[in-house]
Every structure is written in structure tokens, then in C-alpha cells.
Amino acid sequence: MNGPPPVAQGPAPSPLPEIPRPVWRPLKIYPTDPTQGYASALKTSINVEYERLTPGPVGERLEVVDYDGYSKCFYEAVNLDQDEILIQGGLEPSESDPRFHQQMVYAVASRTLANFDRALGRRVSLRKGSKNTRLRLFPHAFNGRNAFYDHDLHGVLFGYFQADMDDPGPNMPGQTVYTCLSHDIIAHEMTHAVVDRLRRYFLEPSNVDVLAFHEGFSDLVALFQHFSFRDLLSQEIRRSRSDLRKPTLLVQLARQFGFATGEGKSLRSAIDKPDAKLLSSVIEPHDRGAILVAAVFDGFFETYSNRIRDLIQIATGGSGELPRGELQPALANRVAAEAAATAQRQLDMCIRAFDYLPPVDVTFGDYLRALVTADFEINPADELDQRAALIEGFRRRGIYPVGVTSLAEQSLRWPAAENIPNLKDQLGDLLPKLLKIEADRFTQRSTDPRVEGLSKEHFDSIEEIDEPGHRKTVYAELRAALLRYAKSNAAALYLRSDLPIFVSGFNAVFRTATNGRLLIELVAQFVQTDPEGQVDALLGGVAVKGGTTIIVSVDGTVRYAITKPLPGPHLPGTMGQEAQQRVQTQSQFVAELDARDPFVPYMSKKQFDNRMKARMALRSLHSGLWP
């Protein structure tokens, strides 16, 4: 008889140590896209946070649904937990296998999400609505030269299309191009989705910078992530002889897409010719966003050059003059390590600044102030002069915040809050409860399989509690307490006491400062809507909003109150005038878009009254149909 030998009966053996849970899951991707580069298409393997997955892949925050609205069908879904796939570290990159497409979308989206978790010091929640819907990723949603995040659907839709017949670049004419195989497009759209969760009003174009910020920031994340692909980085640094300002794959965005659509070049790039005049004339959000991208990259290049100077000196016997030809591999690897570290630090800085932004009506100037303040909090010394380089990058492009007297760091930092009552008295024992919940969500999962259940994604972030049908006790209590606090201190928070206040976000964040200490802060956003604005005709359906972000230290002291208030008598000094100006700017901006929009004559009354809402849609924005 065949089969295993019978197991000897006897006393129960002592339990063996269990296999540790993995921290990472390796998955293969195209680090840029499937375009044939200098040789074959580049491939790489990245580690994403390990989580149990069901076919899709479907995880805790992301759900890949391969539905094609053009062909009206679903495609076979990949099971990344299948043994054969696990053992190979994920499927091999392939253009013809939809299961690889699903893997790549999931991997890059997870990587992008992890960058936000890490820099923000908390776990970003992507669940939405009463059904707790995950963010959905649709790798082949439609046939078209576009990809976009859709707020209502709570998903990212990727298109596929046939490459230009006349001018396909390195693609075959008519070849099918999948936007979901472009790292940059996935990272860009994923960033839109995350930003929309962090600041829900940043899709409302209340001034010329708002959508440009969304676009530029999404490009920044996509571009900086290039520097985490070590093989690509070393290769490009060897080729460019360490000069990152050269047009390498690192600083080009969505190369295949750009060529396949007949542009003859990448879609966008991190490099520009600095021109302080552009800011006053460029309106289109991607083009305007590119100014922001170039400003940040300018700072990055400067810091990077400073950091590798000693390496180059050591390698050249002190002359700093590199010999001709490609960089030698050992040096290239050391330089690449510096580039990667600098890029990661710069990306963290860019993301971290988010908590220091006003809740509504953001401008590039606000972002510069937030960058400087957030980084100062965590790294007061700025030994690498990273902040100074960044400020210079913005200055060269004429980005000046409103209301600052100089571009010195002290005057760029948001002013410290004064006379705002302590939050602790209002929140009482809710604060420790919140800290515990958020800490639990953020803590590294244990590798011990026996404690797996304890660190599961139990809780939504406070962002969710406003959704109808949602009542999670601690959060509901917190929200009520925050509302009480905001109401009784409305004037101090620059809010109008006669209008309803909406808590649009509340988080605890945990960061490690450069001195090694744990920095815990609470960030809350309060928002109000002006009920008297002529929303229909004048503002095209997007009302004037005001609001305040407060940064609170763990003892309840309000440290910063970053505000874009509604106009009113409650505002001290010149703030009232500035607020009034903001309202005017918004209606002027609408008029400026109307003047350029060829669709205005053909709009029905309803379309006209909601034209700014329509202009918010990333769908038409990404297909180049913006006025």
C-alpha cells in the first residue's frame, strides 16, 4: 500500500515555533513602462507591504476590479497568494497577460500609499461610505487615451488605446498601449485619490493654483518614486555621469504615453527653463503644475549636488573633474545611494507638508509655507540646507506666498498660534483613546502570526465619520467634542459663529524627528461654506468656502492655526480685507475660464450653473479638454 507512513501515537508534542509572518511581498513591475529603452524593456522587483490578498488582487484598502466598460466584460483576476506566483516573487512582466497588469497596478498603488503612510506618520484611510468601500482600481476601464481618478465612483480608471498611426515613437503604429502599465500614470492617479482623501476640497478650483497643485503634486510623487528603483537609478546615473538635470528616464514622466499619442516626447518632465513670468500666464492645471514640479526639483538637484560633491572629490583625487565616459560602477552605486536617500527625504518632505495646509483654496505659496513649517518642526537645524534650496527653487519661478514680508525662512513659516484655548479640556479622555486607535492602525504589524488578528484594519479614520450612516462611537464622540470646541472658540479659530462648522478631518500623527524623538501631533480641519455666494451664475456651482487647519501638540496646545477665513467682522486687522479679496479672486477666476471655454455658448442653463463643478472632473482635465 502506498501513502505516508502512519504517525506514531503518543503524548501531544510541544508546539513548534510558528513561521514568522512576512513583512514584505515582492512583486515585479516595469519601473517606467513597457517601452523598449536602450536595450530591452526595464523590469524590476519591488517590495510592498504584506497583506493577505484575495483574487483581484483585493486587500484592505485597495481592490483591483478588471471590468472593461468598452468590451462590457470582466477579465480573469490574478490570485497573488497562489503558490506558484508567490514562489516566483510575482508574475513576470508581460503586456499580453491581464493578470500581470492587475499585479502591477496593485504593486505601484501600494507603494505610493506606503509613501504617504510613512511621511504622514499615520495610516491613510481609503475606505469610503456606508459600505466601507475600498479604493477601486480598474486597469482596463475604457478604450481611450486617458486615465483618471473619479471621486464619485471612488476609483481610478485606466484606459487603453491604439498608438498613433503616423507618429507612434518607439511603439508600433496601432499597437495597444495600456496606461495601467505605466508606473507614472498609476502613481499619479493614485496620488490624486489620496490627496482627495486628505483634502476633499482641493478638487474645487477656487483659484488658479488649486487643480494645478493636485496635478503638480501627483507628478512629484510619481517622479520621486523613480529614484527608489535602484537598477534604473544606477543605470541612469552612469549614463548621465551623475548629472541628474540631464533628460534621463528619471526626470521624464509617462514616456510611452507621450510617444504613443504622437507627441514625440514624454508627457511631462521635471525640468524647465525657470521663468518668473510664466506663473502669471499659465492656467492649464498640468502646465501650471509643472512649474511647481520644477521648483521642487530645482531644490532637490541642488541638495543632491551638495551631497555628492565629496564623493566625486574622493573619486577624482580631489579635482572634482570626472573622467570621460560612463561613471565607473562602484562610484555610480554610491552616488545612486545618495540620490535615492535625498529623493526619499524630499518626497517625505513634500507629503508631510500636507498637514500644514489650509483645508480649502490652496495656493503654491501656501504649499511653500507648509513645506518650510512642516520640515522645520521635524528638522529644525536643516544641516543639508534642503529648505534653503527649496525656497530658492520657488523664488526662481516667482512663487511668493501672499502676505509674507520676505523669503527668509522665519517669515515663510506659518506664524505660531496665539490665544487659542487648549483643546484638552474639551476632549477629556477622548484624546488618549484616539491616540491608541491611531497608534494601533499605524504600528508595524507583528511578524508573529499569533498576534496577527490584533493589528488588523479595524478602524476607519475620522475622515469617514461624516458619511451618512456611519456611527463609530469614539469617532462620533470626537467629532461632537471638536464641534463644541470650534463653536465655543469660533472667533479665535477665524470661523464665523453664525454659520455651521464642518469637521473635515481629524488625525493623530506620529513622526520621528531628526533628533530621534517621537513627535506626536493632532491635526484637525474645520470648514464653512458661504451661504450668500452667487453660486450659480457667478461661481458656476462651486461655493466660496473658508476654513482653518489646527496643529495641536499632544498636551492639547494649539500650535498653528492655518486659515483661509470667510470674510466677516470676526476677522482682526487686515484679514477681513484679504478674505474679501479671496472671494473676488474666485469669481474673477471663473470669468477668466469662461472667456476661454469654447463650450460656454452651447451650455444649457443647468450646465452653465454647474460649469465649475464640471471643470473639476479629472476626466476631462486629463483628456486635454480644459478651457
Partner 1 sequence: MTELTIRMYDVGFGDCFLLTFGKGDEARHVLFDCGSISVGAKQVTSVAEHVIESCRGADGRSRIELLVCTHRHRDHVGGFSDPRWDKVEVGEVWMPWTEDPDDKLATKIRTRQSGFAATLADALNVPGASLDRDPLTSERSVGGRARTTMLAIALNALTNEKAMQTLHSGFSGKPPRHFLPVKDNPCEARTLASLSGINFHILGPPRDEDAIASMDPPKGGAYIARAAAGNSAPVPENCAFRPKWRLDRAEFDRRHPQTTFSAGDQKQIDVLAEEPEGTVAAAIDRAVNNTSLIILIEAGNQWLLFPGDAQWGSWNSAMSNDQCRSLMKRTTFYKVGHHGSENATPKTAVEDVFKDGLISFFSTASIKQWPNVPRAPLVDAIAKKGKIARSDDEAIGKAAGFVVQTGLYTEWTIDTGV
- 158 belongs to the binding site for partner 1 (CB under 8 A): no
Q: Which of 45, 47, 162, 553 binds partner 1 (CB under 8 A)?
A: 162
Beta strand residue intervals within 197-304, DSSP E: 252-253, 268-269
Which helix (H) or strand (E) segment holds residue 217: the answer is helix 210-226
Tell the residue number behind the cell numbers 456651482, with chain if given: 541
Q: Which is nearer to partner 1, 228 or 585 (CB)?
A: 585
Task: Measure CA 51 to chain center.
Answer: 21
Beta strand residue intervals within 377-457, DSSP E: none
Q: How far is the C-alpha of 575 from the C-alpha of 588, rounded, in Å?
A: 20
User: What's the one-letter identity of residue 298?
Assistant: D
Q: Which range in 82-90, 462-470, 508-516, 607-615 contacts partner 1 by CB under 8 A?
A: 607-615
Compose the 121-150 pattern: x for residues touching partner 1 by CB under 8 A, - for all others: ----------xxxx-x-x-xxxxxxx---x
Q: Which is nearer to partner 1, 8 or 595 (CB)?
A: 595
160 DSSP β-pair partners: 143, 178
> Could you tell me if 451 and 440 are in contact, meaning their C-beta atoms sit under 8 angstroms apart?
no
Q: Which of 261, 266, 461, 528 binds partner 1 (CB under 8 A)?
A: 261
The backbone torsions φ and ψ at residue 243, rounded to the nearest 5 degrees and listed phi first, read -90, 100
Q: Are strands 147-150 and 176-178 parallel, antiparallel or unpaired?
A: unpaired
Q: Which of 29, 48, 53, 58 binds partner 1 (CB under 8 A)?
A: 58
Q: Which is nearer to partner 1, 56 or 358 (CB)?
A: 56
Q: Are strands 502-512 and 518-529 parallel, antiparallel or unpaired?
A: antiparallel
Closest distance to partner 1 from the beta carbon of 29 (Å):
19
Closest distance to partner 1 from the beta carbon of 38 (Å):
28
> Could you tell me if 277 and 291 are in contact, meaning their C-beta atoms sit under 8 angstroms apart?
no
Q: Is 518 helix (H, G, I), strand (E, B) or coil?
A: strand
For the chain, the distance separating the N- and C-terminal CA atoms, rounded to the nearest angstrom, is 79
Give the three cell numbers for residue 151: 471621486
- 591 belongs to the binding site for partner 1 (CB under 8 A): yes
Q: How far is the C-alpha of 95 from the C-alpha of 375, rounded, in Å?
A: 41
- 173 Cβ contact partners less than 8 Å away, ≥ 6 residues apart: 163, 164, 165, 166
Q: Which is nearer to partner 1, 148 or 506 (CB)?
A: 148
Closest distance to partner 1 from the beta carbon of 397 (Å):
20
72 DSSP β-pair partners: none
Closest distance to partner 1 from the beta carbon of 263 (Å):
8
- 625 belongs to the binding site for partner 1 (CB under 8 A): yes
- 278 belongs to the binding site for partner 1 (CB under 8 A): no
Q: Which is nearer to partner 1, 555 or 592 (CB)?
A: 592
Q: Which is nearer to partner 1, 47 or 176 (CB)?
A: 176
Closest distance to partner 1 from the beta carbon of 162 (Å):
6
Judge residue 352's burial from the number of C-beta atoms within 10 Å of its C-beta, 0-12 exposed, 13-18 middle, 19 or more buried.
buried
Number of residues forming the site for partner 1 (CB under 8 A) = 65
For the segment 60-119, give every residue that binds partner 1 (CB under 8 A): 63, 65, 67-77, 96, 98
Q: Which range in 331-339, 403-411, 446-454, 601-609 contacts partner 1 by CB under 8 A?
A: 601-609
Of the candidates 525, 522, 555, which has an alpha carbon nearest to the alpha carbon of residue 422? 555
For the segment 27-56, give every residue that binds partner 1 (CB under 8 A): 54-56
- 35 Cβ contact partners less than 8 Å away, ≥ 6 residues apart: 41, 170, 171, 255, 256, 259
> Could you tell me if 367 and 207 are in contact, meaning their C-beta atoms sit under 8 angstroms apart?
no
Q: Which is nearer to partner 1, 106 or 356 (CB)?
A: 106
> Could you tell me if 144 and 71 are in contact, meaning their C-beta atoms sit under 8 angstroms apart?
no
456 DSSP β-pair partners: none
Closest distance to partner 1 from the beta carbon of 175 (Å):
12
Closest distance to partner 1 from the beta carbon of 53 (Å):
12
Q: Which is nearer to partner 1, 151 or 395 (CB)?
A: 151
Closest distance to partner 1 from the beta carbon of 275 (Å):
15
Closest distance to partner 1 from the beta carbon of 626 (Å):
8
Q: Are strands 44-49 and 135-143 parallel, antiparallel or unpaired?
A: unpaired
Closest distance to partner 1 from the beta carbon of 618 (Å):
11
DSSP string, 256-267: HHHHHTT-SS-S
Q: Which is nearer to partner 1, 37 or 55 (CB)?
A: 55
- 471 belongs to the binding site for partner 1 (CB under 8 A): no
Closest distance to partner 1 from the beta carbon of 181 (Å):
12
DSSP string, 438-481: HHHHHSPPPS-GGGGGGGS-----GGGGGSTT---HHHHHHHHH
Q: Which of 608, 610, 616, 618 binds partner 1 (CB under 8 A)?
A: 608
Compose the 482-511 pattern: x for residues touching partner 1 by CB under 8 A, - for all others: ------------------------------
Q: How far is the C-alpha of 424 from the C-alpha of 554, rounded, in Å?
A: 9
For the segment 328-367, give every residue that binds partner 1 (CB under 8 A): none
Q: Which is nearer to partner 1, 273 or 450 (CB)?
A: 273
- 40 Cβ contact partners less than 8 Å away, ≥ 6 residues apart: none
Residues that bind partner 1 (CB under 8 A): 54-56, 58, 63, 65, 67-77, 96, 98, 131-134, 136, 138, 140-146, 150, 152-153, 155, 157, 159-162, 176, 178, 261, 591, 594-605, 607-608, 614, 619-620, 623-625
